[in-house]
Amino acid sequence: MAASLMSSIVKPMHPEGPKFLAIAAAITLLLFLFAPLIAGIAGLAVTVWVYYFFRDPARVTPTRAGLVVSPADGEVSMIAPAVPPAGLNLGPEALTRISIFMSVFDCHVNRAPCAGTVTAVDYRPGKFLNAALDKASEDNERNAVALRLADGRPLAVVQIAGLVARRILCTVKPGDALLTGERFGMIRFGSRLDVYLPDGVAPLVIVGQRAVAGETVLADLETTEAARAGEVR
């Protein structure tokens, strides 16, 4: 019972996390030693948040062929046609883009939306606008990854830096094979991920829906089901 409770609270950390946690803990110790008590308590709260930000929980990913899962935890903020980043060489035609906004309280580990082979990785420096804005896709610092799926169709996932994000981490390169839900990077601290679906594939999520990285199904490449509608209740 106690072990189960602890495992539900204490999660593994992404490898990027321990150094930031150590810095936060050291500063907190100094605050408790040399500053007013309230400052130490504030430092402790920040230290807990740093651990929480870099958490990397295990996820149960659906494995049926053709499913496209969310690459990030967060809210589906936009679904609209858009042209993929030019550096991916996916052509000038607009594809359905699903945008997922991650707040600073969401898990920021990014996962592959679908199994495939990486054909291109395109990093572009840029601004640090609010990642919830539509123009963030063009103006912000971003890292785009193109995948060739088993049936030959392309799919793209784009990491976009946000208002306070200052580093995009991507651990894959052209030629790498990814499994659905496999970790491929993260962004710190607060950001957005875009998924460009293959031509003709309809989204199975709606704007405002919460998504869980590696678990929430965004689309099904093997179905002709129409895009879904929904309402807040």
Residues with active-site annotation: 191
Both tokens assigned to 147: 């995948």
Element (H, E) at 25: helix 17-34
Distance CA 65, CA 72 (A): 20
210: left (phi over 0), alpha (psi -120 to 50) or beta: beta
Distance CA 19, CA 33 (A): 21
Distance CA 201, CA 124 (A): 27
- Grouping H, G, I as helix, E, B as strand and the rest as coil, residue 38 is helix
Distance CA 113, CA 115 (A): 7
User: Judging by DSSP bridges, how do beta strands 142-148 and 154-161 pair with one another?
Assistant: antiparallel
ω into 189 cis (within 30 of 0)? yes
